[in-house]
Chains A and B, each alone.
Chain A
Amino acid sequence: MPDWLRRVRLVAVVVVMGGAMLYVLSLNFRPPAQMDMLQRTVVETLGPLLHVSRKAAQSVEKWVLGYASLRHVQEENELLKKQRAFLESELVRYQEAFLENQRLRRLLDFRDSLQVETVAAEVVVQNAAGWSRTIIVNKGLRDGVQTDMPVVGDEGVVGYVLDVSERYARVLLLTDRDSAVDALVQRNRVRGILGGSDTDTCELRYVRSNQDVRPGDLVVTSGKDGIFPEGLRLGVVKQVTKDPSALFQQIVVVPTVQLSVLQEVLILKSLPNFPSQWLEGTAKE
């Protein structure tokens, strides 16, 4: 390429560049007006492409946001499920606490009505389905619990203390075969001995056949056995069977206390008040 042509080309490039730059810079000083042809060309050419791209980007963004939102909803759902499970368990706990509160309140009222020093105890082990009808409660010698102390619930007599350890006591339930409580029918003061039969019911024994005992009669403690105070509810007569040839009638009594679902009891700290002749007999033996 000749030298002069190279120079001309250089000058042309500088002129074109300078002109272009001046044109562009001049746009800074133009008052707002319609775009010039060059600008319109750029905008009209690239505008649709940018518009479509923007729409596509918005769709993608919407999808991404939707997905993110969905994930957020999913996470929220999981969280709510956990919260619900937690609240349900809390509700169950509160219901339990409420019921316990009700039971304890009734027990408290009952204790106040007894006017005897008592020890509240919780059932630790329930052995009602075993060979013997006993329960273990969480109060023992430390709490002043001794053998033969009456054990009651808010609905009536539970049994009496059979054995005691430092912190626990075994209670013989009314329904145990070895249990025996001096009882009487509240309605007509007919007396008998309430003993267990290793079932969920008791028997009122030694009631003569000519005595008037009816289903529905309330059986209470007589207070004559030296263990239970007088007037504590024992059970309700469920069934009466009279055999003309037998001396005593068969009376089935349902304990007023639901022994199978027992949770809290009161141990009456009243020492056994056995008749003196009993104690003398024991001493002689």
Chain B
Amino acid sequence: MKSVGVGRLSEREERPWGRFLVVFFGYSLLIYVIGAVFVFRLPWMFTRVDLMMAVCVEVAGRFPLWLSILWCFLWGYVSDVFQGRLWGLHAAAYLMVVYFHRLWSAKMDVWSLWYRVLLVGVGTTLQGVAAAMIVVGGFEMTGFLITTVGLALFAMMLSPFVMTPIPWILGEKNR
């Protein structure tokens, strides 16, 4: 079965499972720790972005589908555990990103950085809107949504830095 979303990797005869594991555990853990330790301590709300969203976009584009879903569950769950509330929010947002990637990749240049950055923005916005709906709801959402837009923009700004090492780890020649 050829997966649509894993274009380049699917063209290879052998998948680099070892490298997948490095990204799946090692790099993801590194980004998670950076996010948890550094980014979430930033003073402004709109700067506390979920760096894992950028990893998720890369994973969605480069991993086999089932591995992408597994990644979403695992790291979404880990994020939820350390957050302690809004259970399922991270995993759901990551899954949505994977879904959107599968949906759009047939029509869009999935290897374009702009596309991937846009996907990070969409994922972050979805996550923020969902959180806003659960936490405040109704008309009080305005402020929350403004923050979400800020978060999405900031996440889009940071995402290239998070995403760039992944093709390098996976050993892709044309990154």
Interface residues of A (CB under 8 A from B): 13, 17, 20-21, 24-28, 35, 38-39, 42-43, 46, 49-50, 53-54, 56-57
Contact = CB atoms under 8 A, between A and B. Distances in A.
B77 interface: yes
Nearest to A57: B37
B78 A21 contact: no
Contacts of A20: 73
Contacts of A54: 37
Of B33, B36, B37, B91, most buried by chain A (CB within 10 Å of CB) is B37
A28 B90 CA distance: 13
B82 to A, nearest CB: 7
A46 B88 contact: no
B38 interface: yes
Given A17-B69, A43-B81, A43-B82, A53 B33 contact: yes
Q: Please tell me the size bucket of the interface on B.
A: 20 to 34
B91 A21 contact: yes
B103 interface: no
Interface string B25-41: 00001001100111001
The main secondary structure of chain B at its interface with chain A is: helix
Contacts of A57: 37-38, 41
Contacts of A53: 33, 36-37
A24 B88 contact: yes
A249 B85 CA distance: 114
Contacts of B38: 57
Contacts of A21: 73, 88, 91-92
B86 interface: yes
B87 interface: yes
A17 B82 CA distance: 21
Contacts of A43: 81-82
A35 B81 CA distance: 9
Contacts of A27: 80, 87-88
Nearest to B90: A24
Contact of A24 (B36, B66, B69, B91): B91
A21 to B, nearest CB: 7
Contacts of A39: 81
Given A17-B73, A39-B81, A50 B36 contact: yes
Given A39-B81, A42-B77, A50 B37 contact: yes
B87 A28 contact: yes
Interface in B82-101: 82, 85-88, 91-92
